[in-house]
A and B are shown apart, each in its own frame.
Chain A
Amino acid sequence: DSGVTQTPKHLITATGQRVTLRCSPRSGDLSVYWYQQSLDQGLQFLIQYYNGEERAKGNILERFSAQQFPDLHSELNLSSLELGDSALYFCASSVRVAGGTQYFGPGTRLTVL
């Protein structure tokens, strides 16, 4: 158990809908990262938050957004969902803002029908 929690484990929804994925980092970790794992794109970095502030953006679609709350949990919001958004979404956390080992949560499997 990495200490990173993610809910829900599975999510099935329809095209055009909006969903929210939730992540709680390990105790003491201030950085939260979101990654997408899909069959065609592999593991891709989406976005990083550090202590409530957006730190870095990867190839995150405009339909996707995220935030980190004062208690350091983070939410990834996916809207106007398309079939191609079906993937495994991971959250990872680390202590530092830059560098450092990232510990991954169990992931949320999103299926868009």
Chain B
Amino acid sequence: AQTVTQSQPEMSVQEAETVTLSCTYDTSESDYYLFWYKQPPSRQMILVIRQEAYKQQNATENRFSVNFQKAAKSFSLKISDSQLGDAAMYFCAYQSLSNTGTASKLTFGTGTRLQVTL
């Protein structure tokens, strides 16, 4: 079974600075997707970014980018020019591309709470 580990329960960043959230995962599969979701105080789960494992290029979405290291099974999220609205819980998630069993489910890490200070 796949597991996702987020070893930083809390992080803090000053407004306009850059912060990196860490995520590692364990899998024996070669094809999968990785995601970062954001959960602000409203509790809504918002997709931040997606990475396909077969792509060597790291995904980017505006101020959000990832550092995907497949061999190391590492998937970190970098937030540049941090804004107050970035304050939230961030979850890393793994999804198998197998067409069997519960493969399509998302397996989540325990989350990292990001504080943004003035």
Verify that A and B bind, or say they do not: yes
Pick the contact of B99: A31, A43, A57, A98 (CB < 8 A): A98
Chain B minimum-CB-distance residue to A9: B43
Chain A minimum-CB-distance residue to B93: A43
Pick the contact of A98: B97, B107, B110, B111 (CB < 8 A): B97
Per-residue A-contact encoding for B31-63, CB less than 8 Å = 1, 0 else: 001010100001111110010000000000000
Per-residue A-contact encoding for B86-109, CB less than 8 Å = 1, 0 else: 000001000111110111111110
Give Cα A100–Cα B105 distance, bound, in whole angstroms: 10
A6 → B minimal CB distance (Å): 10
Q: Chain B interface secondary structure, helix, strand, loop or mixed?
A: loop
Contact status of A101 and B102, CB under 8 A, knowing A42-B108, A42-B110:
no
Give Cα A57–Cα B104 distance, bound, in whole angstroms: 11
Q: Are B104 and A98 in contact (CB under 8 A)?
A: yes
A residues near B108, Cβ cutoff 8 Å = 42-43
A residues near B50, Cβ cutoff 8 Å = 101
Per-residue B-contact encoding for A81-108, CB less than 8 Å = 1, 0 else: 0000000101010101111111110110
Give Cα A88–Cα B44 distance, bound, in whole angstroms: 10
Q: A11 interface residue, CB < 8 Å from B? A: no
Give Cα A102–Cα B105 distance, bound, in whole angstroms: 9
Q: Are A56 and B105 in contact (CB under 8 A)?
A: yes
B residues near A43, Cβ cutoff 8 Å = 91, 106, 108
> Could you list 5 A-B pairs, sorted by A, with CB under 8 Å?
A58-B105, A97-B99, A98-B97, A100-B104, A107-B43
Binding site for B on A (CB under 8 A): 2, 31, 33, 35, 42-43, 45, 48, 55-58, 88, 90, 92, 94, 96-104, 106-107, 109
